[in-house]
Structure 1
Amino acid sequence: MLQNLLQEVPRPEGTQAEILQSDETAPGAIPEQAPRDCVLVLGMHRSGTSALSGLLHLAGCAQPANVMPPLVENPKGFFESTRIRACNDDILQSAGSAWHDWTAFDPDWTDGPEQADFHDRALETLTEEFGAAPLFVFKDPRICRLVPFWLGVLKSAKCQAHIVHIHRNPLEVAASLQRRNGMSADYGLLLWLRHVLEAEASTRGQSRHFVSYNDILNDPVQVIDATQDALGVTGLRGSAQGVEVFGDFIAAELRHFSEPVGEVTTNPEVSIWVRRSFEILESWAASGEIAADHAELDRIRAEFNQTGPMFAGLVQEGRELGAANKKLASEIEQAQAAALTQQSKIAQQLEAIRALETAAATDQAELATTRAAVIQGQHDLTAAQGTIAAREGELALAQDDLSKVRADVAQAKAALEDAQREISQQRSRLDGQGIALAERFEEISRLTLLLVKSERQREALTKRLAASDLHAADVEAHRNALLLSTSWRVTAPLRRVVTALRGLRRRG
């Protein structure tokens, strides 16, 4: 939602002279431009000018191109131009002044030769920072003392100035300056008075509106609506679109100092000038500007200007003392920081010592354990050496046995080689015997056939004998003839083999 409320601002290129001069205009002539609106925020340092400028930016006002980055003192940002701030510092310095000068700005400076040069520089810087934005917010607390100068620059830039004055409880401002800049509270009140009086007097007759810092914290949306109504500025986004965003931007916890209004208006230790100026500004912020109050503000400003030189020396001395106190406070702070750093280092060293002591105790325990282990190891080593000696004797015997075994293995290898040669020879003989055996089996087969033939003849003869009436003498003659026959003689070896086989069978 925040991005939707931000307005893109086109920025022209080139210098101020190039922007103002076109092809249709003669050199040195200023072309007609559409009127532009500038919301000029005026207020003392630490009075909420950044918060108000941020709200106006969220409401639709363009911010400068070179914005000051946020700091711890202003985490939401400053919404002011670094270049315009530098220009204002240079202007104040050229007049012998500074942002923290409580005295009136030199009125003769506006008629001096430097004014014209600064006018051209300011006009060019303004254009480069805001371009052709139709509506932009312009802020720097230093402008409170340089209002006439910047109103002239805005007029040259064809910009209509709409002025918003913002003020804050002067005691809160003084406290903030004291913490940030080391200023005394009284000196902070003088600065507050100078800024609000000069800004108010220099803007009379202009389009202007007054708000308080408390109003912004309490109801930022109402502040934007009231500002738009009072100044008649078109294009601002108020309650219709900005409630949530404005509320997120304004954080009450960013307010580090808070003082009741009564602490100023009823405090006798606060100057009557400060009390009455604050009361009038509070009244204007609540109910609107009252012209009758101008006279009293003029009187306060005149008295302030008249009496200023009388105690300027005292103030200067106070400033010097304040600067010395600030320097001393800074040195004390640095010394305290150094002491804290040293204490932290000492604590770290003590912690390191404790860690070393713990580690040493652990190491001693481990050393005692190691010593015991070493002693036990020495005993074990002695025993191991005895065992090793015994094992060495056993090893010598084993080596002797091994030598014998190796000799036996060598003999066995030789015997094996002899056996292998014998086996080879036996295989050769066996191969020859196999051939002979095959021939023998052939012979046996042939003889077997003859035997079978002879047996058949014998059986046939036996049958004939049984069937005939031959005498025994005839049988014997036939038997003898058989035994003398060639078949009987040839089968004789076979019969022996058969007889032997029958004997083996009976024994088995």
Structure 2
Amino acid sequence: MSEHSGPSTSAGSRRIVFVVGSGRSGTSTMAGTLRTLGMHVPQPEVVADATNPKGFGEPRWVVDLHAELLQRSNVQVSDARPRAWLDAGTTSGDHATRERVTAWLEEQFAVSDELVVKDPRAAWFLGLWRAAADRCGATSSYVTMLRPVTEVVGSKQAYYGRMGAGSDQGAITRTAAWVNMMLHTERATRDQQRAFVHYGDLLDDWTQPVFALGEAFDLTSVRTAMAVDIAEVHRFIDPSLRRVTATWDDIGVPDRLRELADATWQALVEVARDDTDEVRRRCDELREAYAAQYAEAEAFAHSTVVAQRRTAAAEARRQAAAEAPRSGADRVPHAVRAMVPPAARQKLRKVVGRERPQGPA
């Protein structure tokens, strides 16, 4: 693999492609493909592991930044709450964070004019990244990877573990988070230079969607890729990467959520085919329907939430009492204290400031 990089020659030639979408939907494969064709993934990258043996294509600095911002926002990587978008946006909107990201991007553009930034957490902070790219005089583009929700959830169950001790709770939460993530990502990338790519198409014949991106986004690295790089991508992309092909029969999800997830998938397929105002309105309707369904679920679960808060508060009080420092008298065994005459005990309490109030005469 060769990397066509070098010092930036002009701000107008700067390009940054954000690979977004739910985790386990092919984002790593897309980022790795663009990197192999010559675009620059800022270094160092997250190290490959058993869940992604060919690498994540994720800059370590970006992942650490997003993890920090999510923690400050009290938001999870796959968060099903509609209001989580507001919390994440509020946290990342401060001037210091924007300056920090802008400075980092400038350092990366000193290496190459064409960057790839991929991290499933990035969707929470697209406004931050867009503003920083604008400050650097760079053109932002967005590739949203599409993979059926059942395969995404099935892959997470297989590689990240089941939540809820073998119950369907993990599948429900992950399905809801997928709907929340994908509908927001569609909304956040509107009126921007964007494309939606099916993971299956990438595995079947990567040249068609990727070279189409090169033309649509004016990516010099992709449009002028060398034969050796193209051959390397053929070796990099393996149809066996699609290791999980789950269906709804494999995932226990309530019918209403299943129907909403299916409708979301169909709407995103339509956006990928023809990005019209009509299909965007359909996505808006689905976001509203999801928010209403989530609010209803929260109302049902309110008693459980209150009970858990009470349990947590009681446990915190118990822990605090157990860790509180004990006085010297408290550390003396009761049998020993009982041997001291009552009058002497009263005098000792008075000396140490623990005199007990006297009863009525």
Q: Distance in 1 between matches of 2:278 and 2:130?
A: 25
Which one has more relative contact order, counting CA pairs under 8 Å at least 6 apart? 2
- Closer, same or farther in 2 for the Cα pair 1:314/1:189, shift >3 Å? farther
1:124 corresponds, among 103, 108, 126, to: 103
**1:21-100 map, 5 Å:** 33-100=11-78
> Is 2:291 the partner of 1:294?
no
SS of residue paired to 1:136: strand
Highest Rg: 1 or 2? 1
> Is 2:289 the partner of 1:303?
yes
Q: Deviations over 1:320-370 (max 9, x none)?
A: x9xxxxxxxxxxxxxxxxxxxxxxxxxxxxxxxxxxxxxxxxxxxxxxxxx
Q: CA offset at residue 303 of structure 1? A: 2.1
User: What letter corresponds to residue 6 of structure 1 in structure 2?
Assistant: E
> Is 2:231 the partner of 1:252?
no
Q: CA offset at residue 306 of structure 1? A: 3.2
Q: Distance in 2 between matches of 1:284 and 1:199?
A: 12
Q: CA offset at residue 274 of structure 1? A: 1.0
> Is 2:251 the partner of 1:277?
no
User: What letter corresponds to residue 208 of structure 2 in structure 1?
Assistant: Q
Q: Distance in 1 between matches of 2:161 and 2:105?
A: 29
**1:149-168 map, 5 Å:** 149-168=128-147
Conserved in 2, the CA contact under 8 Å of 1:42 and 1:141? yes
1:213 corresponds, among 199, 207, 232, to: 199
**1:324-473 map, 5 Å:** none
Q: CA offset at residue 43 of structure 1? A: 1.0
- Closer, same or farther in 2 for the Cα pair 1:70/1:119, shift >3 Å? same
User: What letter corresponds to residue 267 of structure 2 in structure 1?
Assistant: I
Aligned to 1:176: 155
- Closer, same or farther in 2 for the Cα pair 1:288/1:230, shift >3 Å? farther
Conserved in 2, the CA contact under 8 Å of 1:166 and 1:210? yes
Q: Deviations over 1:438-475 (max 9, x none)?
A: xxxxxxxxxxxxxxxxxxxxxxxxxxxxxxxxxxxxxx
Q: Distance in 2 between matches of 1:252 and 1:43?
A: 20
Normalising to structure 2: TM-score of the pair? 0.72
- Closer, same or farther in 2 for the Cα pair 1:165/1:114, shift >3 Å? closer
Conserved in 1, the CA contact under 8 Å of 2:18 and 2:140? yes
Q: CA offset at residue 40 of structure 1? A: 1.1
SS of residue paired to 2:94: helix
Q: Distance in 2 between matches of 1:192 and 1:238?
A: 35
Aligned to 2:180: 194
Aligned to 1:6: 3
Compute the RMSD of aligned alpha carbons. 3.1
Q: Distance in 1 between matches of 2:150 and 2:32?
A: 24
- Closer, same or farther in 2 for the Cα pair 1:262/1:38, shift >3 Å? farther
Q: Distance in 2 between matches of 1:170 and 1:63?
A: 27
SS of residue paired to 2:78: coil
Conserved in 2, the CA contact under 8 Å of 1:224 and 1:238? no
SS of residue paired to 2:195: strand
User: What letter corresponds to residue 296 of structure 1 in structure 2?
Assistant: R
Aligned to 2:123: 144
User: What letter corresponds to residue 155 of structure 2 in structure 1?
Assistant: S
User: What letter corresponds to residue 98 of structure 1 in structure 2?
Assistant: Q
Q: Distance in 2 between matches of 1:208 and 1:262?
A: 33
Normalising to structure 1: TM-score of the pair? 0.53
Identity of aligned residues (%): 23
Q: CA offset at residue 168 of structure 1? A: 0.8
State the number of aligned residues. Answer: 294
User: What letter corresponds to residue 293 of structure 1 in structure 2?
Assistant: V
Aligned to 1:204: 190
Q: CA offset at residue 9 of structure 1? A: 4.2
Comparing 172-181 with 197-206, greater Cα deviation is found at: 172-181
Q: CA offset at residue 158 of structure 1? A: 1.7
Q: Deviations over 1:374-401 (max 9, x none)?
A: xxxxxxxxxxxxxxxxxxxxxxxxxxxx
Aligned to 2:315: none
- Closer, same or farther in 2 for the Cα pair 1:288/1:262, shift >3 Å? farther
Aligned to 1:396: none
Q: CA offset at residue 6 of structure 1? A: 2.3
- Closer, same or farther in 2 for the Cα pair 1:154/1:80, shift >3 Å? same
1:101 corresponds, among 79, 82, 85, to: 79
Q: Deviations over 1:259-294 (max 9, x none)?
A: 479999xx9575222111111222343x34233101
Conserved in 1, the CA contact under 8 Å of 2:38 and 2:225? no
- Closer, same or farther in 2 for the Cα pair 1:57/1:274, shift >3 Å? same
- Closer, same or farther in 2 for the Cα pair 1:290/1:237, shift >3 Å? same
